[in-house]
Amino acid sequence: MSRLGTMLLVLVLVSLFFLHLFGQKGKPITVVMIPKIKGIDYFNACERGAKEAAKELGNVQLIYEGPTEASVERQVEMIEAWLIRKPDVIAVACNDPTAIAPALKKALQAGIKVITYDADARRDARLFFVNQATYEDIAHALVDTMAKEAGPDAPVAVVTSSFTAPNQTEWLKRMKSYMAKKYPKMRLLTVKPSEESMELALRVTTDILRAYRDVQGVFGISSVAFPGAAEAVLQAGKAGKVAVVGLSTPKTMKPYVHKGVVKTVILWNPVDLGYLTIYAARALCDGTLKKGVRHLQAGRLGKKVVRDDEVLLGPPMFFTKKNIDRYDF
């Protein structure tokens, strides 16, 4: 090889080394963010936070699009359509961790960085999960609040979104375990899905109230299951008699809190969840979010804990009559 050829080879190898070392640090990136479903308060709030972070960073082009119903099939179609255009990052809140995995693996194989937020996929189908709080924190907060409001020996029911949504199944598993350990007299009567439909949540809760006359508490563990369950209790004339505890946005639950149907709304800040997701996407491309990292610096949120392959937003928040009017998401 000539001297010139050797020098060129060295330059190429050095360039590849620095590309590997620094990735896309500082370069403009495109992030496609796919919620479970578009148009509901919860994911509207996530979108707001994501847009805030993208604008703040200045080098992130955010494309936010999702299905109009909670359909993993539609999410898969969207992911596969984006494979051709090769964005830098796909961030998705998964409707089904297993069904979505093959499409996410295709994205990884195509060189697209994949993260999940709000609801995880199988761990081999993504790089990091931006988790709103630990599953244990949320499960314990729900059960402790129900024990406080309905009693430690109350017969209770759960209205979930679906039996495949990963966050729902993980919360429910830990709720049952914690209930058995800390409140062994609390009886779980039934678990019903509402498929991200407030109307269906209202119907199934009404059916629960009719079928289980002794029910003293209903958990609504999705952002639409909770208001649906609260509306059913209100319409049945059982406000103050049947406790309704769950996860949803303050904006959605405010009327039920002021009417005395709901005492406590549990959630995290979904605006912050969307914001953190974009910071995680940027850090992943910059090479500062990688295996072994313990913290992520995330703008106005400060330093966030990274535990293995999860970025944690923080502990859940509690909204009551005293503070719920302060929040607009």
Q: Which residues make Cβ contacts (< 8 Å) with residue 73, sequence separation at least 6? A: 99
Q: What is the pLDDT of residue 99?
A: 97
Q: What is the pLDDT of residue 24?
A: 62
Give, in order, the Cα–Cα distances in Å from 75 to each of 135, 138, 186. 24, 26, 38
Residues of the chain with CATH 3.40.50.2300: 24-132+270-314, 135-267
Q: What is the pLDDT of residue 11?
A: 46
H helix and E strand count, the chain: 10, 14
pTM: 0.86
DSSP string, 249-273: -HHHHHHHHHTTS-S-EEE--HHHH
Name the residue with tokens 């009886």.
187
DSSP class of 26: T
- The CATH number that domain 24-132+270-314 falls under is 3.40.50.2300
Q: Which residues make Cβ contacts (< 8 Å) with residue 91, sequence separation at least 6? A: 31, 32, 33, 34, 114, 115, 116, 117, 130, 277, 278, 280, 281
Q: How far apart are CA 257 and CA 125, in angstroms?
A: 40
Q: Phi/psi class of residue 225: alpha, beta or left (left: φ > 0; alpha: ψ in -120 to 50)?
A: alpha
Q: How far apart are CA 315 and CA 136, in angstroms?
A: 10
Q: Are 175 and 142 in contact (CB under 8 A)?
A: yes
At CB < 8 A and 24+ separation, what contacts does 286-292 make?
286/22, 286/23, 286/24, 286/25, 286/26, 287/21, 287/22, 287/23, 287/25, 289/128
Q: What is the pLDDT of residue 34?
A: 98
Q: How many CB atoms lie within 10 A of CB 2?
A: 7
Q: What is the pLDDT of residue 26?
A: 77
Q: What is the pLDDT of residue 294?
A: 97
Rg (alpha carbons) of the chain, rounded to whole number: 22
pLDDT along the chain (329 residues), means of 10: 49 42 74 96 96 98 96 97 97 97 98 97 98 95 98 98 93 98 98 95 98 98 97 98 97 97 97 98 98 97 97 96 95
- CATH H superfamily, domain 135-267: Response regulator (3.40.50.2300)
| Interval 134-168: pLDDT, tens | 999 999 999 999 999 999 999 999 999 999 999 99
C-alpha 270 chain-centroid distance: 8
